[in-house]
């Protein structure tokens, strides 16, 4: 049931960020989801309809609302529970002037499992987090979590199975399989690198693809399945995006029992905004490999892709972010050939980094220690494979 806007609309969500005080102005009516269900089902909101243009929507703690179509053009959404984006790549979008994430936002796992690795047009993604807003705030306890929601690995059936997605890892080995690729190449696996990791694909400046899965091993069961790729988070904001919590689209680890599936690659995070700030974590790392025994080493998944695109003038007036970015490739099992490449982090310019940072055509790679941005770049690992590299951006936890 909706109700008229009261003062709590402003007071409950006021934030102080640096010297800036801002709050969510009242919309036309407040709708509160107190029952889990579909966004478009009136029962979710008390039975009298669902949020329409210029309204405020609140999802209560412990309630899951499944977004099954585009929302109206809301004034605000305050999510204290779970907002689940259902299938509908081109129409399932949250439209809201103000978005406050205190709980969890996620999406369905992508379903396409038919196609060839390395053939981009074979793959049709069907679920992602997609937010179109003016201002988005992810509170310290809030999270946009699409870990393992990209392309899903196949269960072994007696033959080696390639990974799923444009960067699916190889699956020809009896005891090992390659990691999925995306922003970075997936790790190869096996003595001499017999089973290849998956390739890179997609855009660094506007990433919008799910991560790919690792391959699955020959003649073993579900316990040797590859890891799924990471999912997709897309934010288009005309104002400020503040990330004090976490945004993660990591690939899953390959399973190892008794043989090994390749790990999944990280997915994509694209944030286009006027300005960006916060103290949280943005991560699209590949899954970590496992070691069952000396003949069974899983490959790591390649890193995903992160792009933060802002207006340089607006950003120059913004509180400097201390967000940690991580697009690392997953570390493989004990055999060093199992390592993978890091992914890509794209930023509009160099202002987030010290003068020591390394840049190539707008692509920035850097580390952050506990207090400062420091330069990083890639470290070549001396294992005789030109694309076997590893890098970590930001802190790992
Ligand atoms: Ca397909």
Using the mean position of ligand 1's atoms as its centre, give its distance from the Cα of residue 27 in Å: 42
Tokens of 360: 């190539």
Using the mean position of ligand 1's atoms as its centre, give its distance from the Cα of residue 159 in Å: 20
In this predicted model, what pLDDT tens digit does every residue of 240-255 receive, in sequence order? Answer: 999 999 999 999 998 8
User: pTM here?
Assistant: 0.87
Using the mean position of ligand 1's atoms as its centre, give its distance from the Cα of residue 16 in Å: 47
291 by Cβ neighbours in 10 Å (0-12 / 13-18 / 19+) ranks as middle
Using the mean position of ligand 1's atoms as its centre, give its distance from the Cα of residue 301 in Å: 21
- According to the model, what pLDDT value does residue 337 have? 53
Q: Which of 320, 390, 392 is nearest to 179 (CA)?
A: 390
> What is the torsion angle, in degrees rounded to the nearest 10, for the CA atoms of residue 35, residue 61, residue 241 and residue 321?
-160
Spacing of C-alpha 44 from chain mean position: 27
Residue 46 CA to residue 127 CA, distance in Å, equals 27
- DSSP label at residue 213: P
- According to the model, what pLDDT value does residue 155 have? 86
For Cα atoms 120, 164, 208, give the angle at the middle one, nearest 5 degrees: 50
Cβ-Cβ contacts under 8 Å for 386 (sequence gap 6 or more): none
Residue 296: pLDDT band with limits 50, 70, 90: low
Using the mean position of ligand 1's atoms as its centre, give its distance from the Cα of residue 122 in Å: 5
Using the mean position of ligand 1's atoms as its centre, give its distance from the Cα of residue 63 in Å: 33
- DSSP label at residue 119: -
Cβ-Cβ contacts under 8 Å for 359 (sequence gap 6 or more): 350, 365
Location of structure tokens 């120059």? 316
Using the mean position of ligand 1's atoms as its centre, give its distance from the Cα of residue 109 in Å: 15
Location of structure tokens 């074979």? 122
Per the CB < 8 A criterion, the answer to whether 117 and 169 are in contact is: yes
Span of 210-219, 242-251, 334-343, 361-370 with lowest mean pLDDT: 361-370
Using the mean position of ligand 1's atoms as its centre, give its distance from the Cα of residue 116 in Å: 8
If one counts every other C-beta atom within 10 angstroms of the C-beta of residue 40, the result is 16
Q: What is the mean pLDDT of the chain?
A: 81
12 by Cβ neighbours in 10 Å (0-12 / 13-18 / 19+) ranks as middle
Residue 97 CA to residue 333 CA, distance in Å, equals 46
If one counts every other C-beta atom within 10 angstroms of the C-beta of residue 120, the result is 14
Using the mean position of ligand 1's atoms as its centre, give its distance from the Cα of residue 214 in Å: 16
DSSP 7-63: THHHHTT-EEETTEEE-----S-EEEE-S-EETT-GGGGTSS----TT-EEEEPTT-
Per the CB < 8 A criterion, the answer to whether 153 and 164 are in contact is: yes
Tokens of 230: 């990471």
pLDDT at residue 362 tops 50: no
Using the mean position of ligand 1's atoms as its centre, give its distance from the Cα of residue 112 in Å: 5
Per the CB < 8 A criterion, the answer to whether 79 and 102 are in contact is: yes
Using the mean position of ligand 1's atoms as its centre, give its distance from the Cα of residue 393 in Å: 32
pLDDT at residue 208 tops 70: yes
In this predicted model, what pLDDT tens digit does every residue of 6-26 receive, in sequence order? Answer: 433 433 344 443 333 447 888
């Amino acid at each position: 049931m909706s109700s008229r806007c009261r003062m709590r609309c402003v007071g409950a969500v006021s934030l102080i960020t640096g010297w800036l005080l801002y709050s969510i102005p009242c919309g036309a009516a407040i709708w509160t989801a107190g029952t889990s269900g579909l966004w478009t089902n009136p029962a979710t909101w008390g039975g009298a309809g669902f949020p329409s243009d210029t309204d405020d929507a609140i999802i209560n703690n412990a309630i899951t609302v499944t977004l099954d179509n585009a929302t109206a053009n809301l004034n605000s959404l305050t999510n204290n529970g779970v907002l689940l984006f259902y299938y509908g790549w081109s129409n399932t979008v949250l439209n809201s002037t103000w978005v406050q994430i205190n709980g969890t936002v996620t999406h369905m796992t992508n379903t396409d499992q038919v196609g060839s690795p390395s053939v981009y047009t074979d793959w049709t993604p069907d679920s992602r987090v997609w937010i179109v807003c003016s201002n988005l705030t992810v509170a310290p306890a809030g999270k946009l979590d699409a870990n393992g929601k990209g392309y899903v690995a196949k269960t072994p059936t007696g033959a080696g199975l390639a990974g799923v997605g444009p960067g699916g890892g190889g699956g020809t080995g009896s005891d090992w399989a390659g990691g999925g690729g995306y922003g970075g190449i997936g790790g190869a696996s096996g003595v001499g690198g017999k089973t290849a990791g998956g390739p890179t694909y997609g855009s660094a400046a506007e990433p919008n693809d799910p991560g790919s899965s690792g391959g699955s091993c020959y003649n073993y069961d579900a316990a040797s399945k590859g890891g799924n790729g990471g999912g997709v988070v897309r934010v288009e904001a005309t104002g400020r995006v503040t990330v004090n919590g976490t945004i993660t689209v990591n690939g899953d680890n390959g399973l190892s029992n008794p043989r090994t599936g390749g790990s999944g690659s990280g997915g994509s995070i694209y944030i286009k905004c006027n300005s960006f700030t916060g103290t949280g974590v943005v991560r699209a790392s590949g899954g970590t490999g496992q070691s069952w025994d000396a003949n069974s080493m899983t490959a790591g998944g390649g890193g995903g892709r992160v792009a933060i695109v802002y207006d340089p003038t607006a950003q120059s007036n913004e509180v400097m972010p201390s967000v940690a970015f991580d697009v690392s490739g997953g570390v493989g099992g004990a055999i060093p050939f199992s390592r993978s490449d890091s992914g890509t982090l794209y930023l509009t310019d160099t202002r987030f980094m010290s003068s020591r940072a390394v840049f190539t055509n707008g692509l920035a790679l850097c580390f952050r220690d506990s207090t400062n941005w420091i330069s990083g770049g890639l470290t070549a690992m001396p294992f005789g494979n030109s694309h076997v590299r590893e890098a970590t951006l930001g802190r790992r936890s």
